[in-house]
Amino acid sequence: MQNVAIITNGSCDLPNDLVQKYNIHIAPFQVIFDSEVFKLFGDSGDITKEEFYDRLVNGPIFPSTAVPTPKSFLDAFEKASKEAKSVIAIFLSKELSGTIQSALRVVPMIENADITVVDSKASASALGLIVLDAAQLAVNGATKDEILERLNEIIPQTRLVLTLNTMEYLYRGGRIGRAKKLLGQALNIKPILHFEDGFVSSGGTIRGRDEVIKRLKFTAPYIVRNAVTDYIFVWHTRDLDIAKELLDIMEKVNENNKEIRIQEAGPVIGTHIGPKSLGFTYIGKYNKNWLLKMEE
């Protein structure tokens, strides 16, 4: 029996092999097309990314997302509690979702269990990296207090640096108004988004897709040099070729042998950002001037 088991929710976008390797328990998130409900367990689920993005772009129904059901939380908590002395559940930011509030309502139902719920102040693959770091410690025998101390250290340093190709999906999801969408289209504006205190915040804008790619390529080496944990994700939606180019640039400066992977955003966040989004997910220092001014 481990000292600690780690739980997260299905919006974490973690690759299946890492979920299995580090024994991560997942309460599935949901993506909904009208009356069709699909469960998502990180990189896997009842709907493939190919089908999801095809339906998102070409289908008549715009999807919605929903937090794990009470039963999903209950199942994950019960299983994890049987495998470890303590459970740490790391969920997406309470500023972005009701996941934490829903989970906390279920925790008292688990008798004689030591369960701590942690706000990651992030989502998507950024949440995944926090969970991954905690799970690595857990499988190596760390105590609950040691893992919680580590989480307090890395959560403020967790980065998702994201460039959107279009504001269309923010508009369709009700996140921005029509005027802002039309202005962005007219000026060919590509927003930069990142996390700040649990919220998604603006990191500035770039004009034109070619300029986005040029600036991401400039930024890529700085991501590798400033990452403080083992894993880095090159993050994209339906843009694998450019993601591979960014990966090649990063590997050339990967002197500390970080595990750099290409990771495509899943349906939960893909609903809001749409295809051809690009960025990086890592834990470490970030300087907005890398993208905005191509300066260190």
Q: What is the mean pLDDT of residues 227-234?
A: 97
Q: Which pLDDT does position 174 carry in this prediction? A: 80
Q: Say how far apart CA 47 and CA 38 lie, in whole Å.
A: 6
Instruction: Give the tens place of pLDDT for each residue, 185-213.
Output: 777 899 999 988 898 898 999 999 999 99
Structure tokens at 103: 């989970």
**CA-based angle 71:40:23, to the nearest 5?**
80
CA-nearest of 66, 67, 65, 121 to 93 is 121
Q: Which domains does the chain have, with CATH numbers?
A: 2-154 (3.40.50.10170), 157-292 (3.30.1180.10)
Confidence band (pLDDT; 50, 70, 90) for 175? confident
Confidence band (pLDDT; 50, 70, 90) for 182? low
CA distances, 6 to each of 61, 89, 131, 147, 234 (Å):
35, 6, 7, 10, 24
CA-nearest of 194, 168, 196, 202 to 183 is 168
Q: Say how far apart CA 164 and CA 189 lie, in whole Å.
A: 9
Q: What is the mean pLDDT of residues 107-136?
A: 96
Instruction: Give the tens place of pLDDT for each residue, 88-107.
Output: 999 999 999 999 999 999 99
Which residue do the tokens 């070729």 mark? 241
Ranges 142-151, 163-172, 183-192, 242-251: which has the least confidence: 183-192
- In this structure, how many other beta carbons lie within 10 angstroms of the beta carbon of residue 9? 31
Q: What are phi and psi of 106, to 5 degrees?
A: -90, -30
Ranges 154-163, 166-175, 180-189: which has the least confidence: 180-189
Q: Which pLDDT does position 30 carry in this prediction? A: 96
Query: What pTM does this model have?
Result: 0.95
Ranges 31-40, 162-171, 204-213, 243-252: which has the least confidence: 162-171
Query: What's the mean per-residue pLDDT of the chain?
Result: 94
